[in-house]
Amino acid sequence: MATVPAFRLDDSLFNTDLYETIEAFWFQGLPPGATTPPYSLTARWFGLGSQREKDEFNTIGPEKLTIPSEPGSDDGEERENARALALPFLSQLGKSMTAKGDGLAFAKSAMSMVILLDQLPRNIYKGSPQMATVFRHYDRLAQALSMSLLLEETSSSKSYDDEGGAFALPTLHRPDLHPGIRSRPVYREWFYLPLQHSEHLSHHALLSQLISAYRRDIEESGGEAEMREVDSLADFENRHVVLLERFGRYPYRSDVLGREITTEEKQWFDNGGETFGF
pLDDT digits (tens, 9 = 90+) for 75-84: 666 667 787 7
Residue 2 confidence (pLDDT) above 80: no
Of 148-152, 169-173, 223-227, 231-235, the poorest mean pLDDT is in 169-173
Confidence of residue 14 (pLDDT cuts 50, 70, 90): confident
pLDDT digits (tens, 9 = 90+) for 28-79: 899 999 999 998 888 888 865 566 666 656 555 555 554 544 555 556 666 6
pLDDT digits (tens, 9 = 90+) for 96-108: 766 666 788 889 9
Percent of the chain with pLDDT over 70: 75
Percent of the chain with pLDDT over 90: 47
Tell which wins on pLDDT, 78 or 242: 242
- The whole-chain average pLDDT of the chain stands at 82
Residue 253 confidence (pLDDT) above 60: yes
Give me the phi and psi of 233, to 5 degrees please: -60, -45
> How buried is residue 68: exposed, middle or buried, by Cβ count under 10 Å (0-12/13-18/19+)?
middle
Instruction: Give the mean pLDDT of 16-21.
Output: 89
Of 7-11, 201-205, 232-236, 259-263, the poorest mean pLDDT is in 7-11
Q: Give the per-residue pLDDT at 227.
A: 97
Residue 198 confidence (pLDDT) above 50: yes
Q: Closest Cα to residue 9, out of 93, 118, 126, 82?
A: 93
- Whether the Cβ atoms of residue 117 and residue 61 lie closer than 8 Å to each other: no
E strand spans, 5-102: none
Q: Give the per-residue pLDDT at 61.
A: 54
Pairing of strands 166-169, 158-161: antiparallel
CA angle 79, 85, 86 (to 5 degrees): 95
Residue 156 confidence (pLDDT) above 50: no
Q: Give the per-residue pLDDT at 68.
A: 46
Q: How far apart are the first and last CA of the chain?
A: 31
